[in-house]
Amino acid sequence: MALEAVKRIDTIFDVERGINGLDSAARLEARQRLVRPLVDDLHDWMRDEQGTMSRHNPVAKAIAYMFEADRWRAFTRFLDDGRICLTNNAAERALRGVALGRKSWLFAGSDRGGDRAAFVYSLIVTAKLNDIDPQAWLADVLGRLPGTTASNVLTLLPWNWRTSEHHQAA
């Protein structure tokens, strides 16, 4: 019974792996055509299986959990928006650095050191979110900062940044 659920879910993930990398419109179309029937089938199968089990059965409890408090609608939200990922793997990967650095940050030296570390970390993550190499950005900005007027500091922020070579050519 639990193995059957895993097989059904794995089939959904197989299709998702196949459409990964498509633009959001193409992914939405593929989901409607290929994934929605699988998800609907999973829903019906879970409802049928739930009816045959004791409510104390661990699998029955898991199924009941999926149908409580609008969880099924939240789970299937990815079917109606091609931008939404089936998993939260990307978010977890983005947070891995925070989890790995947690012990190191205990040794920031002081509250002020911790504040500075948090500030620098937020700048690095902001650069990454703007598809900028944080090391290249920091090296360029730290070199240009002493000669930058206060009114031009905003041009050095990641979403406005251009390399010093690009800046000089412009």
Mean pLDDT of 123-129: 85
pLDDT over threshold 70, residue 165: no
Measure the CA–CA gap between 112 and 83, rounded to whole angstroms. Answer: 39
| Calpha distance 167→170 (Å, rounded) | 5
Domain ranges of the chain: 2-80, 89-169
Q: For 41-66, write each residue's pLDDT tens digit.
A: 999 999 999 889 998 998 889 899 99
Q: Maximum distance among all alpha carbons in the chain? A: 74
Q: How many CB atoms lie within 10 A of CB 63?
A: 21
Task: Return the structure tokens found at 82.
Answer: 């091609």
- How far apart are the C-alpha atoms of 118 and 114, rounded to whole Å? 6
CA distances from 169 to 23, 39, 131, 162, 165 (A): 33, 53, 21, 10, 6
Each residue of 60-106: pLDDT tens digit?
898 999 998 889 999 999 999 998 888 888 777 777 777 777 666 67
Query: What does the alpha-carbon distance between residue 12 and residue 34 come to, in Å, rounded to a whole number?
Result: 9
Q: Which two tokens stand for residue 104?
A: 């190191």
Q: Flag whether the pTM goes above 0.85.
A: no
pLDDT at 25: 94
